[in-house]
């Protein structure tokens, strides 16, 4: 999409608003031309030179002009905020729809962090061009008119304005280190927010399955408050610089007065002519500043539009395609009611039955099919099979992370859908590759949820993480780095388990989380799982848990070859015998 096509599509989306904005801001910028002429006439009247009109008429026109300008500024600000917010929301919503609908199109999908930065920076850069473009017509008309008058009056005085501009450049150069410092802090805080958003994207299934949505959202709000404080500090400092710059312009007016004194003494330069000169110069400077800024921003916008177009992933016809927005009423998806989709009303687990369960991919390939077994309270059910046999897919269907293509999942005899499982407080799930937040061990276990100290103690004990905590200098307050970069693979697995055990649920689902554990830790870990009297559905080929399983489900190529206890399966299932022998050959 070219810059011209982007601007055209955005204008067409809010045509009336856009041209109304041009009218209001154009009026704001053109009216000072009339104000300058009125000021000149008033000063000429006061000094008795070149004016014989009525001063009352001039004052009336001046007041009306100022009043109209104030109304136009107010209307323009309202429309500008509404317009920019509408444009930004439209683009971001379309891109989010695209990203979430097709997250892996031919490997073109960027990382979540990159995607968030694109939504924040590139969208703002592209939309900013539209706002600046609206200001150009009014400024251009005013500047052509006023520059012609000023240059005709005295070209030398026109050049005098360069002096204060040089001072402003020197001032900005001197203060750039302070500006950089404040900007760096605000960007760091912004980075924490965007990184946290990226971590939420990566951990969305974990957060959802462990029912920590509200707590994670609260943590996000706290990071937002810290970012807001840093941004306000930066903004205040920039406003101070702007105030000094504006004061310098006023000093420049004094310099003009000095230069003009000779002309005034000779009678070649009237006070009225001087007043219009002083009044017009700042507007002319502002116009040329905006032209340069607009030129630079269009170059940046072209790159931003190209980057945004790459994010589109062909899921919507265009990222500027009109779509409904929720700008005029409250919409909070965190408070949507899922009562009709929850299994919480079906009581504690008495039996969980899978009947002819199957799941197929979008290309009609079956990942699992014809799965039939049941789970009783206080038992350990282990899913075994080779890589690609469908173990993880089966667990995700039971956890509600995937919607089964065929068959039923019955909770206490009642068929339930995937959304009912996912939105229940009765199931907790730990994936094979867990995601972590860049915060402390304790906060990663709690996921910012509230709970008694006993819940932490129980989670540490069942996960066998209690022996590791004393080894960290900061204990539970140790920061684990980006996605747990400062802890070992085995500690990551047990931290993920502890996060699951923090919540007391009816069914714990674990997807092969013991591969990174040494033999001694593995023995203690599975022993504590076995002695806990909780209900487990586990994917693992590890002999330590197979020996403790109440039932084992053997998968082969997505189908269930056998189900039973270990001793029975070693006799009746060839696949189980091969998997068992492989454990001893390792």
Do residues 265 and 361 share a domain?
Answer: no
Beta bridge partners of 536: 380, 508
Spatial neighbors of 52 by CB under 8 A, at least 6 apart, are none
Q: How far apart are CA 161 and CA 167, in angstroms?
A: 11
The verdict on residue 474 lying in a domain is yes
The verdict on residue 338 lying in a domain is no
Q: In what order do the strands lie in the sheet with 507-511?
A: 414-416, 406-411, 352-360, 366-375, 559-564, 551-556, 380-384, 536-539, 507-511, 427-430
Do residues 227 and 358 share a domain?
Answer: no
Residue that is written with structure tokens 């605000």 in the block:
186
The verdict on residue 359 lying in a domain is yes
Q: How far apart are CA 450 and CA 448, in angstroms?
A: 7
E strand or H helix at 555, and its extent? strand 551-556
Report the CATH number at residue 433: 3.40.50.300
Do residues 416 and 268 share a domain?
Answer: no
Do residues 405 and 552 share a domain?
Answer: yes
DSSP code for 122 = I
Among 291, 311, 331, where does a domain finish? 311
Token reading at 139: 């400024």
Among 311, 340, 371, where does a domain finish? 311
The verdict on residue 330 lying in a domain is no
What number of H helices and E strands is found in the chain? Answer: 20, 10
Q: How far apart are CA 58 and CA 65, in angstroms?
A: 10
E strand or H helix at 562, and its extent? strand 559-564
Spatial neighbors of 583 by CB under 8 A, at least 6 apart, are 541, 542, 543, 546
Q: How far apart are CA 480 and CA 47, in angstroms?
A: 77
For 311, 404, 555, 557, the CA distances from 581, given in Å and listed in that order, are 48, 32, 16, 19
Percent helix, strand and coil across the chain, each to the nearest 5: 65, 10, 25
pLDDT for 184: 67
Token reading at 561: 């070859």
Q: Nearest-5° angle of CA 454, CA 458, CA 464?
A: 145
Boundaries of domain holding 137 = 3-311
Q: Give DSSP secondary structure letters for 124-172.
A: HHHHHHHHHHHHHHHHHHHHHHHHHHHHHH-HHHHHHTHHHHHHHHHHH
For 79, 102, 359, 366, 405, the CA distances from 362, given in Å and listed in that order, are 45, 12, 10, 9, 10
Residues 578 and 550: beta-carbon distance below 8 Å: no
- Cβ neighbour number for residue 335 with a 10 Å cutoff: 8
Do residues 136 and 260 share a domain?
Answer: yes
Do residues 302 and 391 share a domain?
Answer: no
One pLDDT digit (tens) per residue for the chain, 586 residues: 788 888 888 988 888 999 999 999 989 988 888 888 888 888 877 776 665 567 788 788 888 988 998 999 999 999 999 999 999 888 888 888 777 655 443 344 555 666 776 787 778 878 888 888 888 888 888 878 887 787 777 777 776 666 666 666 566 666 656 766 776 677 678 768 877 887 787 777 788 778 888 889 999 999 999 989 988 987 888 777 767 766 666 666 667 667 767 776 777 777 787 788 778 877 776 776 676 567 656 776 777 787 787 776 544 457 888 877 767 665 555 444 444 445 667 788 999 999 999 998 766 789 999 999 999 999 999 999 999 899 999 999 998 888 888 999 999 998 888 767 777 788 999 988 888 888 899 999 998 888 888 999 999 999 999 989 999 889 999 999 888 888 888 889 899 999 999 988 999 999 988 777 788 888 999 999 999 999 999 999 888 899 999 999 999 999 999 999 999 999 999 999 999 988 766 5
Do residues 430 and 362 share a domain?
Answer: yes
The verdict on residue 347 lying in a domain is no
Q: How far apart are CA 124 and CA 91, in angstroms?
A: 10
Do residues 260 and 363 share a domain?
Answer: no
Among 279, 311, 343, where does a domain finish? 311
Whether this prediction's pTM lies above 0.85 is answered by no
The verdict on residue 295 lying in a domain is yes
The verdict on residue 328 lying in a domain is no
Phi, psi of 211 (to 5 degrees): 60, 45
E strand or H helix at 510, and its extent? strand 507-511
Among left, alpha and beta (phi > 0; psi -120 to 50; other), residue 96 is alpha
Report the CATH number at residue 85: 1.20.1560.10
E strand or H helix at 563, and its extent? strand 559-564
The verdict on residue 477 lying in a domain is yes
E strand or H helix at 394, and its extent? helix 391-399
Structural domains in the chain (count)? 2
Do residues 360 and 292 share a domain?
Answer: no
Do β-strands 559-564 and 380-384 pair in parallel, antiparallel, or remain unpaired?
unpaired
Among left, alpha and beta (phi > 0; psi -120 to 50; other), residue 48 is left
Sign of the Cα torsion 224, 227, 228, 229 reads: positive
DSSP code for 103 = T
For 344, 362, 469, 507, the CA distances from 408, given in Å and listed in that order, are 18, 20, 42, 18
Q: Which of 416, 430, 433 is nearest to 349 (CA)?
A: 416
Do residues 78 and 218 share a domain?
Answer: yes
Do residues 26 and 99 share a domain?
Answer: yes
Extended beta strands in 305-437, E state = 352-360, 366-375, 380-384, 406-411, 414-416, 427-430
Length of the chain measured in residues: 586
Do residues 264 and 388 share a domain?
Answer: no
């Amino acid at each position: 999409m070219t810059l011209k096509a982007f601007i055209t599509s955005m204008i067409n989306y809010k045509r009336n608003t856009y041209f109304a904005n041009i009218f209001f801001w154009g009026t704001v910028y053109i009216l000072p031309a009339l104000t300058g002429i009125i000021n000149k006439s008033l000063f000429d009247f006061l000094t008795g030179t070149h004016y014989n009109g009525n001063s009352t008429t001039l004052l009336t026109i001046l007041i009306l002009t100022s009043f109209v300008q104030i109304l136009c500024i107010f209307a323009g600000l309202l429309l500008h905020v509404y317009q920019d917010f509408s444009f930004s929301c439209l683009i971001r919503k379309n891109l989010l729809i695209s990203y979430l609908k097709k997250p892996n199109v031919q490997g073109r999908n960027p990382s979540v962090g990159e995607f968030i930065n694109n939504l924040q920076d590139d969208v703002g850069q592209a939309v900013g061009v539209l706002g600046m473009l609206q200001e150009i017509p009014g400024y251009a008309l005013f500047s052509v008119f006023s520059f012609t008058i000023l240059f005709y009056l005295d070209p030398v005085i026109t050049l005098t304005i360069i002096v204060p501009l040089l001072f402003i450049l020197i001032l900005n150069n001197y203060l750039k280190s302070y500006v950089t410092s404040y900007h760096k802090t605000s960007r760091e805080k912004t980075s924490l927010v965007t990184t946290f958003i990226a971590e939420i994207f990566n951990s969305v299934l974990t957060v959802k399955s462990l029912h920590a949505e509200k707590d994670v959202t609260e943590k996000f709000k706290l990071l937002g408050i810290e970012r807001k404080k840093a941004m306000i500090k930066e903004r205040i400092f920039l406003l101070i610089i702007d105030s000094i710059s504006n004061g310098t312009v006023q000093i420049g007016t004094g310099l003009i007065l000095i230069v003009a004194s000779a002309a005034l003494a000779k009678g070649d330069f009237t006070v009225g002519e001087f007043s219009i000169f002083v009044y017009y110069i700042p507007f002319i400077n502002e116009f040329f500043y905006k032209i340069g800024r607009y030129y630079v921003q269009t170059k940046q916008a072209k790159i931003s539009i190209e980057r945004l177009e790459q994010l589109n992933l062909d899921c919507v016809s265009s990222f500027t395609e009109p779509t409904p927005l929720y700008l005029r009423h409250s919409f909070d998806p965190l408070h949507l009611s899922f009562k009709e989709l929850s299994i919480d009303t079906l009581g504690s687990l008495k039996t969980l039955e899978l009947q002819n369960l199957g799941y197929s991919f979008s290309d009609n390939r079956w990942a699992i099919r014809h799965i039939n077994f049941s789970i009783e309270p206080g038992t350990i059910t282990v899913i075994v099979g080779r890589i690609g046999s469908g173990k993880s897919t089966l667990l995700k269907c039971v956890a509600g992370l995937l919607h089964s293509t065929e068959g039923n999942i019955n909770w206490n005899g009642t068929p339930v859908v995937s959304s009912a499982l996912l939105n229940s407080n009765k199931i907790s799930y730990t994936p094979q590759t867990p995601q972590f937040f860049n915060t402390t061990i304790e906060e990663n276990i709690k996921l910012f949820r509230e709970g008694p100290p006993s819940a932490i103690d129980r989670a540490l004990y069942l996960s066998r993480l209690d022996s590791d905590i004393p080894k960290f200098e900061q204990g539970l307050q140790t920061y684990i780095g980006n996605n747990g970069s400062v802890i070992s693979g085995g500690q990551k697995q047990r931290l993920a388990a502890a996060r699951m055990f923090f919540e007391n649920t009816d069914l714990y689902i674990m997807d092969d989380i013991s591969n990174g554990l040494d033999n001694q830790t593995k023995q203690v870990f599975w022993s504590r799982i076995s002695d806990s009297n909780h209900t487990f559905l586990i994917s693992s080929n590890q002999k330590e848990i197979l020996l403790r399983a109440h039932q084992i489900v053997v998968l082969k190529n997505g189908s269930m070859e056998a189900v039973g206890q270990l001793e029975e399966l070693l006799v009746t299932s060839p696949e189980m015998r091969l998997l068992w022998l492989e454990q001893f050959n390792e």
